[in-house]
Structure 1
Amino acid sequence: MKIVVKNIKGGSSIVEVNEHTSILDVKKLVENDIKIPWAQQTLVLFGKTLQDEKSIGDYPKIKDMTKLHAAVKKAESLQVVLARFLRRYYSDEQCNLITEEFMRIVQSKMDSMSLDDLERIAKIELSV
């Protein structure tokens, strides 16, 4: 079957899928046409966000020529991502304490670095 993926800001793509095609695969198929990198896409059907790990078959409302809408995910802060990870292992109170201390340490380290230090770190990390 074919589905249509439309970028809210313009652009669309028609892709051939089957019931076993994952939502993540759909994102990868359309990223060039809709001009949103797959990792930054959120696909929406009838107001519901589709989950990357699920397949087309998991969504019975997706039929031939169904229109999905793509939006850009709002970037999450380091603090939000860290807190979500820590909540798997710690209580909310412990999580908040750890996150606040971590962010305080990161901020003090960043404040002590020059732009040259940051550029050097970026070059090392991006060259891998």
Structure 2
Amino acid sequence: MKITVKQLQGGECSLEVSPATLISEIKREVAEKLGIPIEEQKILLLGRTLSDEQTVESYPSIKEGTKLNLVVKKPEGLFEASVKYFKSIGMNDVQAVSAGNELLKVLEEKIYKMSWDDLDRLCYDILSEESGQSRPVSHQVESEPECEDSFTL
């Protein structure tokens, strides 16, 4: 059957699904067609979030021509992600927030100490990694210098 996934801020795509199609598979196809990462997708039907582990047939109101709504969740910032990580390793809220703030402070200090060439290489490496490309030989460094100081909490 054919369904449509419509992004609330614009964009939509049509998908061919079967009753056995998992919602997670729909998200994968949406990621391919609309370029929205799976972890940022929230698919809704009649205001209710669809579960990744469920199939299309587990939602009887999904029929030929159904329009599902796609909400794009704001990705977590570094601070939020670090606080969540610190909590997951056993820190309480106060400790996790403190460690998150310390992490941001250390990163800021490290970035301010970098040269423009270092920043250029870092940006190039990140963009290359995201696009699945490796650094050309002319940009590769024989051996990376070891960091003299490290971040500890």
Category of TM-score, reference length = shorter chain: 0.7 to 0.9
Task: Point out where structure 2 has 5 or more consecutive residues left out of the alignment.
Answer: 136-153
1:87-123 deviation per Cα after TM superposition (whole angstroms, max 9, x unaligned): 1122112211211111111111111123321111233
Contact kept, 8 Å, 1:56 with 1:62, in 2: the verdict is: no
Q: Which has the larger radius of gyration?
A: 2
Q: Which residue is equivalent to 1:22?
A: 22
Aligned-residue identity in percent: 29
Aligned residue-pair number: 126
Distance 1:4 1:105, change over 3 A: same
Kindly report which structure 2 residues correspond to 1:40-79, keeping only aligned pairs within 5 A, or say none. Answer: 40-51=40-51, 53-57=52-56, 60=59, 62-64=61-63, 65-79=65-79
Displacement of 1:58 in angstroms is 8.4
Displacement of 1:24 in angstroms is 2.7
Q: Which residue is equivalent to 2:96?
A: 95
Contact kept, 8 Å, 2:8 with 2:71, in 1: the verdict is: yes
Task: Point out where structure 1 has 5 or more consecutive residues left out of the alignment.
Answer: none
**Aligned-CA RMSD value:** 2.6
2:88 aligns to what SS in structure 1?
coil
1:75 aligns to what SS in structure 2?
coil
Between 1 and 2, higher relative CO (CA 8 Å, sep ≥ 6) is seen in 1
One-letter identity of the residue aligned with 1:60? Y
One-letter identity of the residue aligned with 2:98? L
Aligned mates of 2:97, 2:17 — CA distance in 1: 43
Distance 1:99 1:32, change over 3 A: closer
Contact kept, 8 Å, 2:23 with 2:56, in 1: the verdict is: no
Q: Which residue is equivalent to 2:106?
A: 105
